[in-house]
Amino acid sequence: MLSYNTQKKLLIFSFLAIPLALLITFSFYPAVKLIYYSFTSWDGLSNNYPWVGLSNYKSIFTNPGLFGAFGHNFSYLVCGIIQNIIALYFAIILNSKIKAKNFFRSVLFTPYILNAVAIVFIFKFIYLDTGALNLLLQHMGLGSLQQDWIGNDSIVNWSLAFVSMWEYFGFNMVIYLAALQSVPQEMYEAAKIDGANKWKTLIYITIPNIKGIIQINLLLTISGALEAFNIPFIMTNASPPTATFLTNTMNVAFTFGNYGLASAMAVVLLVLVGVVIFIQQKLLGGGRDVV
Amino acid sequence: MKKWTITVSTAGLASALLLGGLASTAVPTMAKTKKTSNITGTITVLTNRTDMQANGMLNQYSKEFEKLYPGTKVKWETFVDNNTVQVQMNGGVYPDVMMILPTITPQELPNFFAPLNNLGLGNKLYFNNFEAYQGKVYGIATFGDVNGIVYNKLAFKKAGIKSTPTTLSQFYQDCALLKKAGITPIALNYTDKWPLQYWTDVLPDLISQNANYLNTMVSSNTPFSPNTPMGKSLNVARTIVNKGYAEPDFKNTNWANSKTMMAKGKYAMMFLGNWAVPQVIADGIPSKDVGFFPFPASNNGKNIAILTPDWFLAVNKHSKHIPTAEAFVKWEVTQSGYANYAGGIPTLKSQKSGVPQLIQFEKQASKVIEGLPQSAQWTKISNGAQLDLTGGGAVQTVLTASNFSSALNQMNQAWANAKSLIGN
């Protein structure tokens, strides 16, 4: 007969074993391997892993073709921040007493549910030189604003980042909505009695109460911007003016067969996202642990 | 020339997990093969032709083979993505008959595949020494391809062009005529990237009239200078864009759409391979209105063509039914009629192509020479320099660069750096 304590331990262990095994197999083991590969010049197929030390990391920072791609991520970052502002704006409107609230909520959330690849294809057609956007501009008498939205290298990244904004802002909005609904109504009532207007309520009550959620949303947005991948990959096949750091990583691995260097790039991206999170916590963090 | 490969599927994968997840245990676990000459048992065959699975051609092929060799069974497996197959091979379990992935180096061939020397084909085939190592042949090409310009004859007629161009200056003149007639002279398919590969991996050979030209690049530190065949070739592509001979919005293109536009006569030409002819025809234009001619790379009108292999078939060395797999490879290459179906040139030298466009092409080419594989050194340097010369990436870079000669300079620099790192 097992003692109660042993039984307890056995139970805990057996419940944890499966998720832990899965976690280790599919998350930790590949991560450790990834770091190991990043110090080798493995070609992705052979059985030898020539150790090259830090040279992969050196070449990432010395080759502007690789690291410089972060310049293209900048537009995703800017659009990501705008996306959060719009999302918060709509969340506040939809949290007030307006008609057909649920209808608008679901309409605004729809882009996020749509198939991400399909969205990119839709926009590929919208952005054609004879596509919907240019036709619309023409019919509105704004023909002078017509552009090659993809063909013009100085605006292509903004065109792509807009797609990301359009797709993900519904998701941000839903999170903001949930947070807004948890703000106690008494606070608003008290503020109203004290004579606060809408703007002051927003600044002094709403935003401080959902600060943690704003942080999470920004975190998701910024790491998403650094990891921008599927939109340039599908829309432009990650052509040189639109290549991001992650599409370059793919290229290095699968076109140039340098899995070692690509692994190092993945590690650099991981570290970079960590650093950005840390800075953001330092700047915005008010002692509340949210991440 | 893996033009059928479709690589759209990887969209949502986090590259970190993907890279880390490639198992490193390539320990074959299959049973030792018995040396029997009996052609029997079930084999799996890997193919890239998802379209032939859809239209039932693959089933028809397996039925024909099974009828010829009773007791055998052929199962098809299709793939759209090299990487998946690579992971399978890494794990040691992969189809009995498969294609040789472009990433596999000759030294690695014996690790994965069985030698095919005893099929009795040898010199009767083109490309017999492409996928060989230490005197043993590991791969047999499904068919041969020639690169050239696929064109819409009606579009040429509409622009008043009587015969196809045979020199580069004639080519530009015809482009101007087509443009005047409101037709896009030549579609580059920039966005799809792979259709651009021929400007770097075929045209330089054609310009230099040397099938081995690319391999000679390894001895130069400046193989991209404007006066080299590579530089000249990139200049042709660049000129097409600068003069507005490419698609109007050439950076937002779509391969499937381009074929339709060509079938409709809105695009006149595309620099691809013979395999593109049936695809354009499939988009709704009669075969008699589609033509195919050698790229007018010369100044004297004598244009060569280089015969290059399509996918190579190989036999899994861990297969339980090696003789069956070997028999299948032999049958597919010599008897199945696949080359004609695919619109290619039969690998068996004694067979002639029955495709009218290829007959026209062979008439117009001053000679057709057999291509040579790119040397390991060439691949190493271009990979090290991160110049995508076989996938169209380098052409994209050149077409987007603000300054042509500085783009060439940068490529020269990258090449020279990689060369000094790798050594000779």
Structurally, chain A folds into a number of domains equal to 1
The pLDDT of residue A90 is 92
Kindly report the three-state secondary structure assignment for every residue of chain A.
Answer: CCCHHHHHHHHHHHHHHHHHHHHHHHHHHHHHHHHHHCCECCCCCCCCCCECCCHHHHHHHHCHHHHCCHHHHHHHHHHHHHHHHHHHHHHHHHHCCCCCHHHHHHHHHHHHHCCHHHHHHHHHHHCCCCCHHHHHHHHCCCHHHCCCCCCCCCCHHHHHHHHHHHHHHHHHHHHHHHHHHCCCHHHHHHHHHCCCCHHHHHHHHHHHHCHHHHHHHHHHHHHHHHCCCHHHHHHCCCCHHHCCHHHHHHHHHHCCCCHHHHHHHHHHHHHHHHHHHHHHHHHHCCCCCCC
User: How distant is the alpha carbon of residue B159 from its chain centre?
Assistant: 31
- Residue B244's contacts (CB-CB under 8 Å, 6 or more residues apart) are B179
The pLDDT of residue A285 is 66
- Bridge partner list, B369: B306
DSSP-derived secondary structure letter, B403: -
Chain B closest-CA separation from residue A189 CA (Å)? 46
A241 with B19: Cβ contact below 8 A: no
**Burial group, residue B216, by CB count within 10 angstroms (0-12, 13-18, 19+):** middle
| B292-302 tens-digit pLDDT | 999 999 888 89
The pLDDT of residue B13 is 33
A149 lies in some domain = yes
* For chain B, domain boundaries: 15-143+310-365, 145-307+374-422
- Residue B256's contacts (CB-CB under 8 Å, 6 or more residues apart) are none
Chain B closest-CA separation from residue A85 CA (Å)? 26
pLDDT confidence of A62, banded at 50, 70, 90? confident
What is the three-class DSSP state of B43?
strand
The pLDDT of residue A70 is 87
In this complex, the residue of B89, B104, B192 whose CB is nearest that of residue A237 is B192
- Residue B312 exposure: Cα atoms within 13 Å on the Cβ side: 27
pLDDT exceeds 70 at position B179: yes
End-to-end CA distance of chain B: 27
- pLDDT (average), residues B42-70: 90
In A, which residues are within 8 Å of B386 by CB distance?
63, 65, 251-252, 256
The pLDDT of residue B12 is 33
What is the three-class DSSP state of B400?
helix
> A89: how many CB neighbours lie within 10 A of its CB?
13
In this complex, the residue of A129, A239, A263 whose CB is nearest that of residue B19 is A263
A232 lies in some domain = yes
Quick one: tokens of B210? 């040397």
Q: Do residues B29 and B315 lie in contact, with contact meaning Cβ atoms separated by under 8 Å? A: no
A266 with B89: Cβ contact below 8 A: no
AA identity, residue B159: A
End-to-end CA distance of chain A: 44
The pLDDT of residue B146 is 93
A14 lies in some domain = no
In A, which residues are within 8 Å of B90 by CB distance?
45
Chain A closest-CA separation from residue B11 CA (Å)? 5
Long-range contacts of A198-202 (CB under 8 A, 24+ apart): A202/A92
- pLDDT (average), residues B108-114: 91
Which residue, among B5, B8, B15, would best test binding to A if mutated, counting the most A CBs under 10 Å from its CB?
B15
- pLDDT (average), residues A186-211: 88
> B417: how many CB neighbours lie within 10 A of its CB?
15
pLDDT confidence of B31, banded at 50, 70, 90? very low
- Residue A114 exposure: Cα atoms within 13 Å on the Cβ side: 21
How many Å apart are CA A66 and CA A262, to the nearest integer?
Answer: 10
Q: What is the DSSP string of B95-151?
A: -SEEEPPTT--GGGHHHHEE--GGGS-GGGBTTTTTTEETTEE--EES-EEEEEEEE
A24 lies in some domain = no
Q: Do residues B23 and B90 lie in contact, with contact meaning Cβ atoms separated by under 8 Å? A: yes
Class for the domain spanning B15-143+310-365? alpha beta
The pLDDT of residue B37 is 54
How many Å apart are CA B46 and CA A77, to the nearest integer?
Answer: 43
Which residue, among A119, A252, A254, A272, would best test binding to B if mutated, counting the most B CBs under 10 Å from its CB?
A254
- Residue A277's contacts (CB-CB under 8 Å, 6 or more residues apart) are A219, A223, A291
Q: What are phi and psi of B267, to 5 degrees?
A: -110, 135
| A218-258 tens-digit pLDDT | 888 888 899 899 899 988 888 888 999 999 999 899 888 88
The CATH number given to B145-307+374-422 is 3.40.190.10
Chain A closest-CA separation from residue B385 CA (Å)? 9
| B114-165 tens-digit pLDDT | 999 888 888 888 888 888 899 899 999 999 999 999 999 999 999 999 999 9
- Bridge partner list, B147: B273
A126 lies in some domain = yes
Which residue, among A239, A251, A261, would best test binding to B if mutated, counting the most B CBs under 10 Å from its CB?
A239
Max avg pLDDT among A57-71, B29-43, B235-249 = B235-249
- Bridge partner list, B141: B312
ipTM: 0.77
pLDDT confidence of A174, banded at 50, 70, 90? very high
In this complex, the residue of B11, B108, B388 whose CB is nearest that of residue A255 is B388
pLDDT confidence of B7, banded at 50, 70, 90? very low
A59 lies in some domain = no
% of chain A surpassing 70 pLDDT? 97
Q: Do residues B404 and B398 lie in contact, with contact meaning Cβ atoms separated by under 8 Å? A: yes
A241 closest CA partner among A154, A159, A161: A154
A243-269 b/e (C-beta count within 10 Å ≥ 16 → b): bbbbbbbbbbbbbbbbbbbbbbbbbbb
B186 closest CA partner among B172, B200, B197: B172
CATH number at residue A102: 1.10.3720.10
Q: What are phi and psi of B3, to 5 degrees?
A: -80, -15
How many Å apart are CA B100 and CA B109, to the nearest integer?
Answer: 9
How many Å apart are CA B127 and CA B349, to the nearest integer?
Answer: 10
Quick one: tokens of B134? 């230490």
| B83-101 tens-digit pLDDT | 788 888 888 889 999 999 8
A115 lies in some domain = yes
How many Å apart are CA B251 and CA B368, to the nearest integer?
Answer: 33
How many Å apart are CA B173 and CA B323, to the nearest integer?
Answer: 56
The pLDDT of residue A286 is 55
AA identity, residue A139: H
Quick one: tokens of B2? 């893996």
AA identity, residue A172: N
- Residue B25's contacts (CB-CB under 8 Å, 6 or more residues apart) are B90, B91, B92
The pLDDT of residue A161 is 94
The pLDDT of residue A154 is 87
- Bridge partner list, B272: B148
A248 lies in some domain = yes
Look up the domain containing A93 and give its range.
69-182+211-284
- Tell me what the pLDDT averaged over chain B comes to: 86
How many Å apart are CA A56 and CA A258, to the nearest integer?
Answer: 10
The pLDDT of residue B61 is 93
The pLDDT of residue A277 is 84
For residue B269, CA distances in Å to A93, B83, B292, B340, B392 come to 55, 32, 9, 23, 18
User: Taking phi first (over 0 means left), then psi (-120 to 50 degrees means alpha), and beta for anything else, what does residue B348 get?
Assistant: beta
B304 closest CA partner among B241, B383, B212: B212
How many Å apart are CA B81 and CA B313, to the nearest integer?
Answer: 17
Q: Do residues B92 and B319 lie in contact, with contact meaning Cβ atoms separated by under 8 Å? A: no
How many Å apart are CA A138 and CA A145, to the nearest integer?
Answer: 8
The pLDDT of residue B36 is 42
| B256-313 tens-digit pLDDT | 889 999 999 999 999 999 989 988 998 999 999 999 999 999 888 899 999 988 899 9
- Bridge partner list, B267: B184
In B, which residues are within 8 Å of A30 by CB distance?
16-17, 20-21
The pLDDT of residue A195 is 87
B15 with A259: Cβ contact below 8 A: no
In this complex, the residue of B19, B104, B383 whose CB is nearest that of residue A256 is B383
How many Å apart are CA A288 and CA A275, to the nearest integer?
Answer: 19
pLDDT exceeds 80 at position B29: no
In this complex, the residue of B108, B249, B383 whose CB is nearest that of residue A45 is B108
State the residue for tokens 């057999």: B370
- pLDDT (average), residues B331-348: 89
B186-214 b/e (C-beta count within 10 Å ≥ 16 → b): bbbbbbebbbbbbbbbbbbbbbbbbbebb
What is the three-class DSSP state of B92?
coil
In this complex, the residue of B14, B90, B191 whose CB is nearest that of residue A239 is B191
